[in-house]
Amino acid sequence: MRELFSDEAEHGVLGAVLQAGLQRDAGLVEDILGQMTSGDFYRDDNAALFDAMVECNDRSIPIDPVTVGTVRRTLPSGDLVIAYAAELASKVPSAANWKAYAKHVKEWGVIRHIIDIGGQAQAMVQEGAPTDAVIAASQQAMADLRNLHSGGGSYKRMSEVLPTVLEHMQDVLDDKTPAKMSTGLADLDKLVDYLAPKSMVVIGGRPASGKTMLGLQVLQHIATRGKGVGLVVSLEMPSEQLTLRAIASLGGVDLKRLRDVKDLDEDEWSRVGAASGAIKQAELYLIDRPGMTMPEIRAEARSLMREKGLDVLLIDYLQIIGSDSRAASRTEAVARNSTAVMNLSRELGIPVIALAQVNRGPSNRTNKKPQASDLKDSGQIEQDADVIILVHDDPESEAGQQGVTELIVDKNRHGRTGSCLVHRQGSYSRFANFRGAPPS
């Protein structure tokens, strides 16, 4: 079977950027980088090298093998960036043919996307999805693909976009749009209008506030009830703990009792069995490698999307994503990682949920409620996010002691802000829809 990429073309584009950089031709560097994205590359090492070049350019650093090796030390394969970049620079004697190389790379990218769309349609059919839903999902995917094969500049007349917008509006009227992605919490769904594709959703909170619990619960719901494919990238909690929490949440079994299984009764064992069955059926994947960088996370997400599909990604948590740049401050590193998360959601066309810690500012307020500006280490997170959900509970209040938790939507780029109440069931590692009168 023929491979769906061209190493020679990918090397040609990267070598052309390096040649232009060595010649100090800033205009040509801008032209090449402006025509491509890291998502156009099949090889993860090539995509990571391209990202390093973009970072150099964004920071006004001349591009050559040494500078890209300073910005990023190693590639996803483990090879040194400086050695790989030097090899590519020597392979491509001139940048003159960069347009031909770039066209070839983008064409193979389009072909891979088309094949992926066919595979996703086939999977929906096998799962018994209605034919109109399969067609609607495929049409939307093809619409998202249209801009990948365009030449020249990226500008377009608004009138060219109008038919796509009107077609989507008609699909909504005809109930032909793909089902919305639910969080599993009714009042939160009403507030954020479900999880939108290509969105960066930040769930913020203090340590032990329940942000990880909420993020995992959303992914579990999508994978077990919505029949989607979810990936958890946990930079802090091992996969065994994540799985134990999933059993507690899905089975309604006390998490503490799961750690001493000799005391479980027959009913609890039955619930463990039911939860285990749901997990076995779910397309829910875990990575628990500390210190992962955004290029590594991106490579893993792209790999899973190619092999299994991917509907939602959870990163726990944003402020401890690794950084290859030893010279950058923590604020700069978090800011760049935040923007990379936003770009990844656009590239993959899925919601990416990034957990984030907030600082101690809320503790100095009378109501102790967090706000978007409290997100720790960088204000870039607030700027990049499409939706910011802040988890707030006051353990000193009577309502807080009863498990009442407020989810504050402090930013919603495409909807309204506000808050809703949920009931924290900590022993089961989950939140439940709130019932009853709101606390006074």
Average pLDDT over residues 151-173: 71
Question: What is the number of other CB atoms lying within 10 angstroms of the CB of residue 24?
Answer: 11
Does residue 154 have a pLDDT over 60? no
Which of 282-291, 362-371, 377-386 has the lowest average pLDDT?
Answer: 362-371
Residues 141 and 273 in one domain: no
pLDDT of residue 348: 85
Inside any domain, residue 438: no
pLDDT band, very low/low/confident/very high, at 56 (cuts 50, 70, 90): confident
Residues 255 and 113 in one domain: no
Q: Which of 132, 157, 178 is the last residue of a domain?
A: 178
Residues 130 and 190 in one domain: no
Highest mean pLDDT of the ranges 169-183, 281-295, 391-405: 281-295
| Bigger pLDDT: 296 vs 176 | 296
Rounded CA-CA distance 29/219 in Å is 40
Residues 267 and 333 in one domain: yes
Average pLDDT over residues 57-83: 87
Does residue 401 have a pLDDT over 90? no
Residues 199 and 138 in one domain: no
Residues 173 and 193 in one domain: no
Q: Which of 144, 178, 212 is the last residue of a domain?
A: 178
Q: Which of 127, 144, 178 is the last residue of a domain?
A: 178
Integer angstrom CA distances of residue 141 from 24, 114, 134: 39, 9, 11
Structure tokens at 308: 């299994």
Query: With the C-alpha atoms ordered 86, 90, 95, 98, is the resulting torsion angle positive or negative?
Result: negative
Residues 191 and 173 in one domain: no
Inside any domain, residue 440: no
- Closest alpha carbon to 278 in 232, 219, 238: 219
Residues 303 and 412 in one domain: yes
Residues 44 and 108 in one domain: yes
User: How far from each other are the two terminal CA atoms of the chain, in whole angstroms?
Assistant: 67
pLDDT band, very low/low/confident/very high, at 148 (cuts 50, 70, 90): very low
Inside any domain, residue 439: no
| Mean residue pLDDT across the chain | 83
Highest mean pLDDT of the ranges 9-23, 87-101, 153-167: 9-23
Alpha-carbon Rg for the chain in angstroms: 23
pLDDT of residue 141: 64
- The enclosing domain of 349 has a CATH number of 3.40.50.300
Does residue 179 have a pLDDT over 70? no
Do the beta carbons of residue 280 and residue 274 sit within 8 Å?
no
Which of 92-106, 132-146, 270-284, 299-313 has the lowest average pLDDT?
Answer: 132-146
- The enclosing domain of 110 has a CATH number of 1.10.860.10
Inside any domain, residue 418: yes
Inside any domain, residue 50: yes
Inside any domain, residue 92: yes
Residues 122 and 203 in one domain: no
Structure tokens at 311: 């509907």
Number of domains in the chain: 2
Residues 171 and 203 in one domain: no
Does residue 184 have a pLDDT over 60? yes
Ramachandran category for residue 41: left, alpha or beta (phi over 0 → left; psi -120 to 50 → alpha): beta
Do the beta carbons of residue 390 and residue 370 sit within 8 Å?
yes
SS (H, E, C) 152-193: CCCCCCHHHHHHHHHHHHHHHHCCCCCCCECCCCHHHHHHHC
* Segments forming the whole domain that contains residue 19: 1-178
> Which strand (E) or helix (H) includes residue 295?
helix 294-307
Residues 77 and 197 in one domain: no
